[in-house]
Chain A
Amino acid sequence: MNDVPLLEVENLGVNFRSEGRIVEAVKGASFTLRRGETLSLVGESGSGKSTAAMSIMQLLPYPIASHPTGSIRLGGTELIGADDRTMHRVRGSRIALVPQEPLTSLNPLHTIDRQIMESIRLHQRGISRDAALARTIELLKLVGLRDAENRIKSYPHELSGGQRQRVMIAMALANEPDLLIADEPTTALDVTVQAQVLDLLQKLQKQLGMAMLLITHDLGIVRKMAERVCVMTDGVIVEAGATAEVFDSPQHAYTRKLLDAEPRGRPLAAAEEPAPVVATDALKVHFPIKGWFGKPRGWVKAVDGVSIGISEGKTLGVVGESGSGKSTLGLALLRLIRSQGGISFRGERIDTRNTGEMRRYRDRMQIVFQDPFASLSPRLTIAQIIEEGLINFRPELGRQERRDAVRQILDEVGLRGNILDRYPHEFSGGQRQRIAIARAIILKPDFVVLDEPTSALDMSVQGQIVDLLRELQEKHGLTYLFISHDLKVVRALAHDIVVMKDGHVVEHGSAERIFEAPSSNYTRDLISAAFDLRARDPAPSAAPSSP
């Protein structure tokens, strides 16, 4: 390798014009990338990291976007303002992109071989059909898609998330690019699959000698993958350097904040064997698959025979990959969806109650949802959202008393200032999640279901929310059902853990025992994927891509 960097980005600026205002998304970013090197752009959502990467491909929505300053040179060729013909030769051939969401990046109506071959034949004129097909199969084998010969005629929906991402990688590699831009390549994937895909990317990079620009918000991924790292916030690169150095001795306050943000701490000590607040007995949630004339053809067993108990003041963590039925379990416990099997709340059977009778219990059991953007009605003010439960259950309170109660609870979840009459969209994700928590606890419930409350949030906010939840638990003696796919967060909160897979409980026990000595392979996979980002199977090409 010679000393000229493959990619030089110098003083790059990106502006977006919106309704007459100019938003500076990237301000004076500079970095270089040599062949065979991995550089990571890390930052929280809105920090401009994806925008910077997209400007390398010149794929921003011009002319809404513009580059007031800067230059991007690929092997000495200027890309900013390059004409379409130059860019066509560069995109997909010299620079390739692995996008975040593999489902929406593949055309659902075309088979995968057609989509990969399109890319090959576009850039390698004169290649024969057969040769292109052979190359496609070779690529799919390279990315570890099992049984590639038979699978090339699959449609995207027939593949799992991990398999789709492998196809996207195969497509990106089709023309042996010099530079691979991976934009949050594993964010949409389950933890165990995430580890496999990262391993694959690392292996292929070595094998093909590509440079890789990895965009992520996950510091664990940076640590594993990147030789050098650029930390971005508000469109500015605040710190750059070798990964180990930056992580060991962060210079900039923001980097330190990011590194400190990982959820830490351990669950509170709780009294031995207190009374159970919620218990289930062989709980089942089956969704019918409709056949002719509405007769069920079969059943999707989202939750199948789960028996758990949660004691007072404790947290039960429910972990599992997407589709394992953990969220469904949470909804069923609160009787928000139909289920079979016993559910008891403080010793009373609630599974036999109808909707009307259940209303009596609603002030004692609450839920916080995953997505703080979807769980707050956009047309109601913060005060209206939070006081709803009070209006319903404490009708004797006057308007002023309600507002005082709302103000007090907002104070408790760490939101101060006069925000009662503002609307949800004026708040950030973390603030919205605090509002959702305030709504859940204003009625002083006994039991709160937390359905992935941190997974839609930025890293630096996750830790704060976990701390807040722990504080509230201590103060009010709350009992939590904590649903998450992120074992790091679960470890910080849960006393007991239930590991779920395909609607069944795989393992159930105290958190310490499960983290120290997991008894099932599945749990071991989850733990190693979460903490070491390592796929347990040493040869990912032979590993089954989990569905």
Chain B
Amino acid sequence: MNVETSKVDLAVEAPLPRFRMSPLTRRRWATFKAHKRGYWSLWIFLALYLVSLCAELVANDKPLFVWHRASAYVPAFVGYPETAFGGQFETEADYSDPAVRRMIADHGWAIWPIIPFSYKTIDYDIGAELPDGPTSRHWLGTDDQGRDVLARIIYGFRLSVSFGLLLTLFSSVIGIAAGAVQGFFGGWTDLLLQRAIEIFQSLPLLYLLIIVSTMVQPGFFTLLGVLLLFSWMALVRVVRAEFLRARNLEYVRAARALGLKNGKIMFKHILPNAMVATLTFLPFVLNASITTLTSLDFLGFGLPRGSPSLGELLSQARNNLNAPWLGVSGFMVMAIMLSLLIFIGEAVRDAFDPRRAA
């Protein structure tokens, strides 16, 4: 979310000769900081997202570093054939194979990540019925295919948040542009676009996705595209209202009297002033995007099978009611992630509220 904010802010400040926080921005930052819950939520969220961005270093079934026969290897980043360690196969070494481990241990050593499993690693050595509960080997247990739940959550968090951020970014760009055009020109442009949006909005999203998923295997970007078709409308109303209000203000008239072209008036004069309402809305759009993805995954219309998705974890929890660790972990992750975002959103809203910042 902060990634988002700073991006937009930079766009606003860009025409400045040198970067300087305007007093207004500084006061808003102070208000945001004073909002303790939101401020801490922001840092916790950033820390979590940063950790999940480095998921390969935290949860991986390949060692981070191997010292073998006086040479160094970084299997987490580069694939080495098994023959490199004295094995027989030309294919990439399977570091969870006891034979390979022994070969490495005989002639050197390896540093493993904290969680020695990736999201798709199937642990064949459990020896118990799947899904298996939390043990010292799998801190949050495994799912019904023997994959480590914690590893899947870390990867799933990254996927969900990244998806949400991208969707929010694209849908705000489109939504702001559409809202700006409607509000600025008004009249027939506004009327026709408004009606078109209303019709579009009443299309059932779920059916459309079912149809799409029968035709193509929806991947990350297909899903992003399809959801984008529907999510850009969230911001249109807000931006349109701001532009409708601003287009008759005197500073816009003054810009017109200076002979400025419409595009320039819209983006240089009105948009920065409409940004407040938009920024306030963004955390909630982000939350909605994440929830949509999760629910699609839950229903099985989302990302391809095997992807580390929180929705899939929840649907496994429903199918394995005897394994409460699945449901509890899935629920906790979703609840914490969405709450953090809402808290941040609240703080942002307060920071931008002109009545509070009197």
Q: Which residues of A contact B (CB under 8 A)?
A: 18, 331, 334, 336, 358-363, 365-367, 369-371, 374-381, 384, 388-389, 392-393, 399, 421, 423, 425-426, 436, 439, 443
Q: How far is the CA of A370 from the CA of B251 in the complex (A)?
A: 11
Report if B16 contacts A (CB, 8 A): yes
User: Are B258 and A389 in contact, with the CB atoms below 8 A?
Assistant: yes
How near does chain B come to A7, taking the closest CB pair, in angstroms? Answer: 30
User: Are A393 and B273 in contact, with the CB atoms below 8 A?
Assistant: no
User: Are B22 and A423 in contact, with the CB atoms below 8 A?
Assistant: yes
* A to B CB contacts below 8 Å, 16 in the list: A331-B253, A336-B256, A360-B259, A366-B258, A367-B257, A370-B250, A375-B254, A376-B254, A377-B272, A381-B16, A389-B259, A392-B260, A393-B259, A426-B23, A436-B254, A443-B258
- Chain A residues positioned under 8 Å from B12 (CB to CB): 379
Report if B35 contacts A (CB, 8 A): no
Report if B33 contacts A (CB, 8 A): no
A-B interface pairs (CB < 8 A), number: 75
- Chain A residues positioned under 8 Å from B15 (CB to CB): 380, 384
Chain B contact-residue range equals 20 to 34
Q: How far is the CA of A331 from the CA of B250 in the complex (A)?
A: 11
Q: Which residues of B contact A (CB under 8 A)?
A: 12, 15-17, 20, 22-24, 249-251, 253-261, 268-269, 272-273, 358
- Chain A residues positioned under 8 Å from B260 (CB to CB): 388, 392
Q: How far is the CA of A443 from the CA of B149 in the complex (A)?
A: 68
Residue of A with least CB distance to B259: A362
Known A18-B358, A371-B250, A377-B273: A358·B257 in contact at CB below 8 Å: no
Known A381-B16, A423-B22, A423-B23: A359·B259 in contact at CB below 8 Å: yes
Q: Please report whether the interface of chain B is mostly helix, strand, loop or mixed according to DSSP.
A: helix
How near does chain A come to B34, taking the closest CB pair, in angstroms? Answer: 9
- Chain B residues positioned under 8 Å from A18 (CB to CB): 358
Known A336-B253, A371-B250, A375-B250: A388·B258 in contact at CB below 8 Å: yes
Q: A361-B259, A393-B259 are in contact. List 11 more A-B contacts (CB 8 A).
A: A336-B256, A362-B258, A362-B259, A375-B253, A377-B251, A380-B268, A392-B259, A399-B17, A425-B23, A439-B254, A443-B258
- Chain A residues positioned under 8 Å from B273 (CB to CB): 377-379
Which one of A361, A369, A384, A421 contacts B253 once the chains associate, using CB atoms below 8 Å? A369
Which are the 8 A-B pairs with shortest beta-carbon distances? A362-B259, A379-B272, A375-B250, A359-B259, A374-B250, A369-B250, A377-B251, A389-B258
How near does chain B come to A218, taking the closest CB pair, in angstroms? Answer: 24
- Chain A residues positioned under 8 Å from B250 (CB to CB): 369-371, 374-375
User: Are A358 and B259 in contact, with the CB atoms below 8 A?
Assistant: yes
- Chain B residues positioned under 8 Å from A421 (CB to CB): 16-17, 20
Q: How far is the CA of A375 from the CA of B257 in the complex (A)?
A: 12
User: Are A363 and B259 in contact, with the CB atoms below 8 A?
Assistant: yes
User: Are A334 and B257 in contact, with the CB atoms below 8 A?
Assistant: yes
Residue of B with least CB distance to A366: B257
How near does chain A come to B320, taking the closest CB pair, in angstroms? Answer: 54
- Chain A residues positioned under 8 Å from B261 (CB to CB): 359
- Chain B residues positioned under 8 Å from A366 (CB to CB): 257-258
User: Are B17 and A388 in contact, with the CB atoms below 8 A?
Assistant: no
How near does chain A come to B194, taking the closest CB pair, in angstroms? Answer: 15
- Chain A residues positioned under 8 Å from B24 (CB to CB): 378, 423, 425
Q: How far is the CA of A361 from the CA of B256 in the complex (A)?
A: 12
User: Are B254 and A367 in contact, with the CB atoms below 8 A?
Assistant: yes
- Chain B residues positioned under 8 Å from A359 (CB to CB): 259, 261
How near does chain A come to B351, taking the closest CB pair, in angstroms? Answer: 13
Known A377-B269, A377-B273, A426-B23: A336·B257 in contact at CB below 8 Å: yes
- Chain A residues positioned under 8 Å from B258 (CB to CB): 362, 366, 388-389, 392, 439, 443
Q: How far is the CA of A374 from the CA of B249 in the complex (A)?
A: 7
How near does chain A come to B176, taking the closest CB pair, in angstroms? Answer: 15
- Chain B residues positioned under 8 Å from A374 (CB to CB): 249-251
Residue of B with least CB distance to A367: B257
Which one of A376, A389, A392, A393 contacts B251 once the chains associate, using CB atoms below 8 Å? A376
- Chain A residues positioned under 8 Å from B253 (CB to CB): 331, 336, 367, 369, 375
How near does chain A come to B67, taking the closest CB pair, in angstroms? Answer: 56
- Chain A residues positioned under 8 Å from B251 (CB to CB): 374-377
- Chain A residues positioned under 8 Å from B249 (CB to CB): 374
Q: Which of A358, A374, A399, A425 has the most CB of B within 10 A?
A: A374
How near does chain B come to A226, taking the closest CB pair, in angstroms? Answer: 33
Q: How far is the CA of A378 from the CA of B24 in the complex (A)?
A: 10
Which one of B16, B255, B272 contacts A388 once the chains associate, using CB atoms below 8 Å? B255
Q: How far is the CA of A360 from the CA of B258 in the complex (A)?
A: 10
Q: How far is the CA of A331 from the CA of B260 in the complex (A)?
A: 16
Q: Which of B12, B20, B249, B259 has the most CB of A within 10 A?
A: B259
Q: How far is the CA of A370 from the CA of B249 in the complex (A)?
A: 12
How near does chain A come to B18, taking the closest CB pair, in angstroms? Answer: 9
Residue of B with least CB distance to A399: B17
How near does chain A come to B75, taking the closest CB pair, in angstroms? Answer: 51
User: Are A369 and B254 in contact, with the CB atoms below 8 A?
Assistant: yes
- Chain B residues positioned under 8 Å from A334 (CB to CB): 257
Residue of A with least CB distance to B270: A377
Q: How far is the CA of A334 from the CA of B253 in the complex (A)?
A: 11
Q: Which of B16, B250, B256, B358 has the most CB of A within 10 A?
A: B250
Q: How far is the CA of A371 from the CA of B22 in the complex (A)?
A: 23
- Chain A residues positioned under 8 Å from B20 (CB to CB): 421
Q: How far is the CA of A381 from the CA of B15 in the complex (A)?
A: 10
- Chain B residues positioned under 8 Å from A365 (CB to CB): 257
Q: How far is the CA of A361 from the CA of B16 in the complex (A)?
A: 29
